[in-house]
Chain A
Amino acid sequence: MSERAASERKGGFLDAVERFGDRLPDPVFIFVWLIGVLALGSAVAAWFGMSAVNPITGETLTAQSLLSRENVQRLLTSMPETLTGFTPLGLTLVIMLGAGVAERSGLFSAALRGGLRNAPKSLMTPMVALLALVATHSSDAAYVVLIPLAGVIYASVGRHPIAGIAAAFAGVSGGFSANFMPGPIDALILGVTEPAAQILDPAWSANIAGNWWFIAGMATVFFPLIWFVTDRIIEPRLGEYTPTSAVPVTSQKADSALTPEERKGLWRALWAFLALTGLWTLLTVMPNAPLQDFEAAPAYRLNPMIESLIAYFFLLFLACGVAFGSAVGTVKTHRDVVQYSTEAMKDMSGYIVLAFAAAHFVVMLNWTGLGGILAIDGARAIEAAGLPAPLLLGAMVLLAASLNLVIGSASAKWAAIAPVLVPMLMLLGISPEMATAAYRVGDSVTNIITPLMVYFPMVLAFCRRWDPEFGMGGLLANMIPYSFAFLIGGLALTVFWVALGLPVGPGAGIEYIVPEGAPSL
């Protein structure tokens, strides 16, 4: 932040967070220090022989020291694989290879000016929020496509691009589980619930729609929250956006009309879009289609298509960018395409360094086994507290939310908690679906305020493209209001849902009747 901006700061809580966060070391070194702390912590935990028993497999999880022979060897021999195996890295780089062409050929700017010139500015936030909530189905693609795009959209209507990024990030990640339709995430999470429920009731089987009404309720609650927080809290905080010379994206003023070449380019891009979308539809529905998994259960059948969306968006951006650029004159030869992609990769240089540090932290946390132990112990503590059902579920939301600050993966965390909590709640008469739903609220809301979430560094990199001075503290301070609002809204939703006894999905009540002769825990 510049000197002038710093002196204008007010003394509020968020500003304190931002100042504190910005005084922290560079994010890369935060991860380096965290790894140091983790190494010491794991050595201590291993020394004391910390362990927990997984109720399903009966396996004992023992804390592993990062200084052990095995882990030192693993760290030093697999460093390149740790970097390239960091999932967000590959996704981000692939999408940016394509998006760089679309952006630099001028397609984004022209399309947004064409599409949004007459759109009322005030509807921008609800539109982005809604898209972000729904787009979670394509989980990874939503992060790498929608979040940077939201920044461009806001900039092109003259609003602060970081407000757009924050709104999209809140919708995609803070509303990770909120949606109007069940999707792959439901399949994943309820798939973890199943073996946990079967400890008590071997006949229980997961139903992918088991949380449908609840997640729709969540989306309905979160949607106005994003709108309100973005327009009333975040944007006033950020103030007027004045583009600096360092901004890579040339966003022309929103009110400049399209030139005839740009119109022609947009038509060409539309044809490219239709051709590619048609191709993808064909690859998905044709007989023996490559993008369908015919051997899988119906709920998982389209998984290959969903996973191929990264490739789809890459090719889409590339093809549309080239089509547009060929009309406008920004893409004359293939060398322009290579150059635009190269520039996009250069923009990602800071992110690669950050990804190197973050990737090591994430895998090293896995090696210690501390995440699983923490989750099982936390679940045991809730079990021991003996609260009434609505409060119990509220406590579960809080447990998931706080665990989420350290353990990113939704399914890994659930796999550790579910075997303890799901059977316990079943014995108290609460259905596995409701238990899952409560977990998902907590798992979503804190995604956006933990630097350990794998996509957090990426979102930071996207913000820095607009404001090179924007730090980790700035992003945290912007996301805390969302997270807080979501947590309150989600807690209230869960407690009321249980108190009112509403169904969580078609055929899934909140109550559960223990079958005769179930094994006691």
Chain B
Amino acid sequence: MSESRVTTGESEHQKGILGWIERTGNRLPDPAFIFFYLIIFMVIISAIASFLNLSVPHPTQLDESGAPVVVNAVSALASSSLEHLLVEMPEIFTGFHPLGYVLVVMLGAGVAERAGLFGTAMRAAVRDVPLMLLTPAVALVAMMGNLAADAAYVVLIPLAGVIFAAAGRHPIAGITAAFAGVSGGFSANLLPGQLDALLFGITEATVLALDPDWVMNITGNWWFIGVMTFIYLPIIWYVTDRIIEPRLGPWTGGAVAGAAEGEQEEVAAELTPGQKKGLANAGLAVLAVCFVWLVMTVDLVALVTFGNLSMYGGDVPLYNEAPGLLPAQALVPFFSSLVAGFMILFIFAGIAYGKAAGTIKDHRDIVDMMAGAMKDMGYYLVLAFFAAYFVELFNISNLGLISAVNGANAIEQSGLPLPIVLGLIVVFAGLLNLFVGSASAKWALMAPVLVPMLMLLGVSPEMATAAYRVGDSATNIVTPLMVYFPLVLVFARRWVPEFGIGSLTASMIPYSIWLLISGVIMTVAWVYLGLPLGPGATVEYTLPAAAAVTG
């Protein structure tokens, strides 16, 4: 983590709501320990619940006589629970669904990021645009830049300042626009990426109690986050050009900031021929990988030869030919293969770029880049260990299911329409985000209750995840607890040394408010209209028909 990069600004503690957020948040323990305390809390609660004999009828499973299976609260201190928790420690840890997904995607993204592909691609995308379109270009690339997580913060945000200054506009406006895009539009993207792998992994872990056959699909929010990008884009454009820039006034400082001239020059420099060639090669690699995946999903050989020849006897690996399946079901192998697909895509694109740009000389560089990406995951592994235990405790105690059933009943009785319920979830996630930064940690806290509850109300796990993501994004940019907040402050201070934590927050609040409002409206409207969220992912969800459990 990068919290300690900046020590200045501590003395500028603010009064008011933001100051309060900062003080409260800093007093909270490290997220790993929040989970640790919650684990202890869960142990106590589960013991009490089991002592009180809390139970609900299972919504989908029937016993032999046809009556619903009764789900009892199980104490974590019961002999069988303790045995499970102590004997299977490594399995509980590695069985935490997001862990595998994220590590695999990061193995690939690490190569693409460290080879310099992401950074160069961003620079190339932003450089040669007309002045008027500068803001929307920066915002769009910033939102896309999330595919590279850290690289977007470290490369794009300072770059936006340089580009704005070079165009004679206020560099801070560029920095805020990029920050709003990268961080406020954290979930908005035109392509699914590692964040989708991470969040859906957690969603999957919480769905299985109700619906063991549910299959995680990394593209389950694709249309939703795509539309989010197009809604956020004009908002960032408008806020930057009409609110932030007039406030900042005209820029008189020249094109080069005082502090880090060498670095600035490097950021603003032309692309070298090697880098240009690298980008072209990476584009070809992307096409090649997409083509391989296409061939494995659609029997092109049979199409071209009119069925005379075919791959695998017409039975391609990533398409399920069994009769009577809906297209979305037949494509399940394809969806499941996308984690591997993105990893391979990033690796090949990264290698293709790195070979030409000179960042990858031999295979040892590739291994080092992968190891570097795993090193970045060090803190995440610690967090995942505790989060895995928390989710496991929720699952074995049955408390997630019990509170979901009761919560669903309560919502049904309150008569709140579903779109409003999801709107409220967005707001709740946005508020929680002020204190708990990590997207996956927060979702691991909320999902065990929210996802099954919404499933009982007929809302799909994909929709629940999407609503959460809207809230999780919009408030990133106003909480001083977000790990990159101090970094952005440093970038801004290179141009205006007296720019303080308060100035940055004040600049970001308009973005945050507008993003949150439009996000809520979009979520409510989406549910109301029942649009699909991604390929094979709908808003509605039907519980699998009640099935008798044998044994």
Contacts and interface: CB of A to CB of B under 8 A. Distances in A.
A335 interface: yes
Most chain B CB inside 10 Å of its own CB: which residue of A78, A83, A291, A352: A352
Nearest to B201: A80
Given A72-B317, A349-B378, A334 B371 contact: no
B103 to A, nearest CB: 6
A77 interface: yes
A450 interface: no
A85 interface: yes
Interface in A88-145: 89-91, 93-94, 97
Contacts of B30: 334-335, 338
A310 B89 contact: yes
Interface stretch (A179-187, A340-348, A387-395, A488-496): A340-348
Contacts of A68: 312
A337 B90 CA distance: 20
Contact of A304 (B83, B99, B296, B318): B83
A283 B341 contact: no
Interface residues of B, number: 53
A249 interface: no
Interface residues of A, number: 53
A87 interface: yes
Interface string A28-70: 1100000000000000000000000000000000000000111
Contacts of B316: 69
B370 A342 contact: no
A411 B103 CA distance: 30
A233 interface: no
B107 A311 contact: no
Contacts of B337: 73, 76-77
A77 B370 CA distance: 21
Contact of B371 (A84, A289, A353): A353
A356 B29 CA distance: 33
Contacts of A290: 79-80, 82-83, 86
Contacts of B94: 84-85, 89-90, 93
A482 interface: no
B29 A353 contact: no
Contact of B87 (A29, A85, A307, A342): A307
Interface in B313-365: 315-318, 333, 336-337, 339-341, 343, 363-364
A251 B185 CA distance: 47
Contacts of A25: 363
Nearest to A68: B312
A103 to B, nearest CB: 15
A259 interface: no
Contacts of A29: 363, 367
A248 interface: no
B498 interface: no
Interface string B79-119: 11011011111110111000111011001000000000000
Given A73-B318, A80-B100, A349 B375 contact: yes
Nearest to A312: B86
Contacts of A353: 107, 367, 370-371, 374
Nearest to A294: B79
A69 B312 contact: yes
Given A94-B90, A338-B379, 4 more contacts: A29-B367, A76-B340, A334-B33, A341-B32
Interface of B: 1, 29-30, 32-33, 79-80, 82-83, 85-91, 93-95, 99-101, 103-104, 107, 296, 312, 315-318, 333, 336-337, 339-341, 343, 363-364, 367, 370-375, 377-379, 381-382, 385
Interface of A: 25-26, 28-29, 68-70, 72-73, 75-81, 83-85, 87, 89-91, 93-94, 97, 283, 288-291, 304, 307-308, 310-312, 314, 334-335, 337-338, 341-343, 345-346, 348-350, 352-353, 356
Task: Give 8 closest A-B pairs by Cβ, nearest first.
Answer: A80-B100, A90-B90, A349-B374, A90-B94, A76-B337, A346-B378, A84-B94, A77-B336
